[in-house]
Amino acid sequence: MSYPSIITQEGAAQRNKQPIIDALSSLIGDDTEGEIIEFGSGSYEHIESFAKKWEKVVWWGTVRNETEQGIVSTRLEEQNVRLLNLREPRVLDISKESDWGSLYKGLQFGVSGPFLGCLMINLIHCCPVELPEQVFEHLSPINARLVHKPLESDRSWIAAYGPWLNDDGTYKSSEDEKFDKEYIRFKSPLLGLRTIKSVSEIAERWGFIEESRKEMPKGNVFVIWRVRT
């Protein structure tokens, strides 16, 4: 599937790192141990800050292709980022079954996972509308492959941060409408803002339920889906 990689707007990562850390604190405590994966890690700015904040958690990031992987690896080397709990980025295009297969192999041979949770920052509106289902399907406790089974941990979670439409499909603000039409959809008509409700319906099909929504700066929302007991 051909669609552009849109990570975020310039400067956004620096602005929203602390609000996202604050929101993640409801899921991750100072004594939390385990592994967490982020999809669409971009420049690795976010995940680097998470690894510094929660040193007992092992953080796995993903990028869409080898080009992005090289850019991240170069930045980490040039800036001398050496964190024992931060792994090098894995290639994962969520539209490619071969990439998911590689992730499964890593799990099978003990290289990574199973994961306590999965984080997506500014990802859902930057991929075609059918692809979020790939995420929930592959993380599903029904398949019991990438996340802990419900009784093995405190109910694994998926969290997503970004701009959303209202549940009735309207825009939250004129700024969101402009961002959607003039920036996101201008890049590709396959992309665009979604409703949380539509994604939660997908999540339910794969064993997750929407647990909470937290309003964030500049009209963004932090949404948590939890493995259903």
Residue 206 lies in a domain: yes
Whole-structure pTM value? 0.92
Quote the domain boundaries for residue 108.
Answer: 12-18+35-227
Domain with residue 85: its CATH number is: 3.40.50.150
Contact 39, 120 (CB under 8 A): yes
The total domain count for the chain is 1
Q: What's 218's DSSP letter?
A: G
- Tell me what pLDDT residue 151 has: 46
CB environment 49-82: b (16+ within 10 A), e (fewer): bbbebbeebbbbbbbbeeebbeebeeebeeeeee
For residue 209, the 8-state DSSP code is E
In a domain, 25, yes or no: no
Q: What is the pLDDT of residue 80?
A: 93
Specify if 30 maps to a domain: no
DSSP run (H or E) holding 187: helix 185-187
* Average pLDDT score, the chain: 90
Find out whether the peptide bond into 89 is cis, omega within 30 degrees of 0: no
Q: 26 in a domain, yes or no? A: no
What is the predicted pLDDT for the residue at 177? 97
Tell me, yes or no, whether 24 lies in a domain.
no
Report, as an integer, the average pLDDT of 204-217: 95
Residue 100 has pLDDT above 80, yes or no: yes
Q: What is the pLDDT of residue 196?
A: 98
- 136 in a domain, yes or no? yes
Asked whether residue 196 is assigned to any structural domain, the reply reads: yes
Q: Give the residue ranges of DSSP H helices in 11-147.
A: 12-24, 45-53, 66-78, 97-108, 132-139
Helix (H) or strand (E) holding 201: helix 196-205
Radius of gyration in angstroms for the set of CA atoms belonging to the chain, rounded to a whole number: 17
Q: At 61, give phi and psi (nearest 5°).
A: -110, 160
Q: Is residue 27 part of a domain?
A: no
